[in-house]
Structure 1
């Protein structure tokens, strides 16, 4: 049975019905050129150009040259619009491309694609997560990630937990990077000067007797320059995948 046609279970949220095209078409009105996809794409443009706070039904209507009330024939509320925006911003998953290279190469590709989507549309990080994935693209991403783990010997619940772990790492790293960049910009710190500036402040505020471990970091020159954000991402992702690899090895000997 097609789950989208099953009306015996829980009711689908309006945004999910809209995302899957399960709602009837709105009645004809004065702006037949409007479409749900066009409205969502316009909202994504506003968020990309002006930030998430700028997104409102009125602002999106202005972007389309339409009246605000015309949008409500397609989108019932701003929360619904945000859900559709996130699904559109992510787009489809990266898809196959690592056949024969193993689960680690596939999951690495998956994680980098996730990060790229968040870097293209950083406002996505500010949209509250309303629950488990249900939109078309989010479920396609989930399917793609599970496919990477198909031959690992992990139980199905462990595969889901691995994807949650990787997604959480990618999301947290992306949010932290965005916050640091925005904070540096607000403080007037030029690119490349964040860590040297931080080093000077730490050295001024601390002494080796009270903070010996921290001063060993300073003495090693760790904070003398800004690292490439990609290097930090690689380090963290590799450690996460090392843990997954250890679990897979353990399951292979059970």
Structure 2
């Protein structure tokens, strides 16, 4: 039996190196050539294990989430709320995760583990399997949307902190015509945007909690109708 030389690298090594680059310098710094350089290998050697950069990004998308934490005791609402905040925390640790294009449903082992954990939270509900999937997918969309908003705002804040101060409310008063946008004008007049720092992390977390509560209350109403 002919013995081949044992490979010195594999897809997992390549993925971990790419993630380390993205963590340090952002997703734009990741390329097959750069990963090969960091690993001390020829670029073509990587293609024997990872066929393309798109495949590498897919591997990074799965690996970046790490393993989901165990769910706490309690009812389904507590468990799903905990899961949603854990997803948000995982994305915030690696904001470049949101820049990876997603071309299909979750299929990697880590993303499927997160999916399974959320479905488990709904075990004691009367929802049909398809409804459980719909709830989890809807919640995942909400969390990733909120994460994207917070990351985008953070980036904008770094570039121009002034636009996030109380001047924002003043500028809206100048722009918004109450006759054309009466509902928005009413909110502005109430002082909702008169904040010292629109980018305050506590405010972002409070907004997330509010949206999460509304989502879960909607699910609870649907479950109540099913019961």
The residue that corresponds to 1:179 in the other structure is: 152
Distance 1:235 1:33 in 2: 50
The answer to whether 1:28 aligns with 2:26 is no
Q: Match of 2:36?
A: 61
Q: Which residue of 2 aligns with 1:163?
A: 136
**Alignment counterpart, residue 175 of structure 2, candidates 205, 223, 242:** 205
**Normalized against structure 2, the TM-score is what?**
0.90
Deviation at 1:216, TM superposition (A): 2.3
Match of 1:76 in 2: 51
Find the counterpart in structure 1 of residue 193 from structure 2.
223
Match of 2:87 in 1: 114
Show the counterpart of 1:196.
Answer: 166
1:216 to 1:56, Cα distance in 2 relative to 1, 3 A: same
**Residue 102 (str. 1) matches residue 75 (str. 2):** yes
Say if 1:195 and 1:223, in contact at 8 Å, map to a contact too.
Answer: no
Alignment match, 1:123: 96
Identify unmatched segments of 5+ residues in structure 1: 1-26
Aligned residues: 219
Does 1:86 find its partner at 2:64?
no
Distance in 1 separating the partners of 2:109 and 2:126: 27
User: Hey, what does 2:13 align to over in structure 1?
Assistant: 38
What is the Cα deviation at residue 170 of structure 1?
Answer: 0.4
**RMSD over aligned Cα, in angstroms?**
1.7
Kindly state the Cα deviation for residue 45 of structure 1 after the two structures are TM-superposed: 1.2
Separation of aligned partners in 1, 2:149 and 2:51: 33
Residue by residue, what CA displacement relative to the aligned partner does 1:216-243 show, whole Å, maximum 9, x if unpaired? 2222221111252100100111100010
Structure 2: give runs of 5+ residues left out of the alignment: none
